[in-house]
Amino acid sequence: MSAKPSAAARVVLVTGVSRFLGARVAGVLQAEPGIDRVIGVDTVPPTVPLGRTEFFRVDIRTPGIAEVISSARVDTVVHLNLVTAQIGPRPKMKELNVIGTMQLLAACQRSPDMRRLVVRSSAAVYGSSPRDPAVFGETDEPAEAPSSGYAKDAVEVEGYVRGLMRRRTDLRVSVLRFANFLGPDVDSPLTRYLRMPVVPTVLGFDPRLQFVHEDDGVEVLRRMTLEDHPGCYNVAGDGVLLLSQALRRAGRPTVPLPEASMRLFGDLGRRFAGLSGFSPELLRWLMHGRVIDCSRLEAELSWRPKYSAESAFTDFVHTWGHGHNPPLEALDRLAGLAELAGRLGGPGR
């Protein structure tokens, strides 16, 4: 389907510009001849050059974001500020995701210059459950709605976006439910999990996984910013990988743990081995997986992703290196943690 005619984006604001996705999206948008200004906002300065993107150190939870949108006469907002990794207290993460989005949307609602909003959401809104359908379409409801972490935040964010759409029917709004990102620049709970020298898995589970390569994710966001494609869309590469297939291809040895032990393993790893922890939503995904149908996006854009799930994972492995036999002390440390988690998570706990 070709893009519907609409006013071209002239002044674009990108949130979360100090992270990999925001920086890359700002970079491709500033190269577009039809865009006069690209403004990037975040709470911390970017660590990479942003070219002609103008950086403003603004917390979107504050009224400062409304001042930027109004004074710059922003007509398009690309909201990429969904925090997926919990750093520090959970309430702070929720504030950044939910309260920040509320302030941003309120600023968009008040601005007479606003024409288009593009929101990064997550396929995590579908949850992960043994009772899920084999494939999720955009209109499907999860068997068990997410009840914690960034997945619950993403559900709330989408709810506030729908509220804005009711109040500003003139806005063209695109919501993108991305599968997990992989690529050379991606640092996330998933990529840290996949890079562990010995990878713990949940005993008895081998989930189906999907990925989206960062290059394809950036291209979708570019198209949604420049063209008129309102609606909600799933975004992922073609095909699926089983977790066991992915770990074999990455050359990572595994340690299967019972579910109860796995829940304790992340916290023990953080405290005693310097490893990444497992959020509840990541753990459920590592048990039950999730597959989304992206045919609506492909039909709307007349486009298919360059990277399949398999090729995106292959590129990730090439970037971060194939696994090798870990030092014996690493194996001993992981074995000790597994044994401790097993004792703490055993029957009667």
For residue 75, is it within any domain?
A: yes
Mean pLDDT of 211-238: 98
Strands (E), 5-106: 11-15, 37-42, 54-57, 76-79
Per the model's pLDDT, the better-predicted residue between 324 and 148 turns out to be 148
Strands 116-122 and 211-213 come out as unpaired
For residue 121, is it within any domain?
A: yes
Mean pLDDT of 226-239: 97
Q: List 77's β-bridge partners, or say none.
A: 13, 117
pLDDT of res. 153: 94
Q: What is the pTM of this model?
A: 0.89
Mean pLDDT of 200-205: 93
For residue 72, is it within any domain?
A: yes
Using a pLDDT cut of 90, give the percent of the chain over it: 67
CATH number at residue 123: 3.40.50.720
For residue 250, is it within any domain?
A: no
For 31, the token pair is 């190269």
Number of domain units in the chain: 1
CB 12 within 8 A of CB 36: no
Buried b (16+ CB within 10 A) or exposed e, 44-54: eebeeebeebb
Domain holding 48, by residue range, is: 11-179+213-236
What is the C-alpha separation between 280 and 258, in angstroms, rounded?
15
Tens-digit pLDDT profile for residues 141-174:
999 989 888 899 999 999 999 999 999 999 999 9
What is the C-alpha separation between 215 and 27, in angstroms, rounded?
12
What DSSP assignment string belongs to 166-212?
HH-TTSEEEEEEE-EEESTT--SHHHHHHT-SSEEEETT---EE-EE
How high does pLDDT run on average in the chain? 87
What is the C-alpha separation between 213 and 183, in angstroms, rounded?
6
Task: Tally Cβ neighbours within 10 Å of residue 201.
Answer: 20
Cα–Cα nearest to 173, from 343, 6, 344, 2: 6
pLDDT of res. 333: 55
pLDDT of res. 117: 98
Residue 48 predicted with pLDDT over 60: yes
Mean pLDDT of 222-233: 97
For residue 101, is it within any domain?
A: yes
Residue 253 predicted with pLDDT over 50: yes
For 306, the token pair is 């360059």
Residue 348 predicted with pLDDT over 50: no
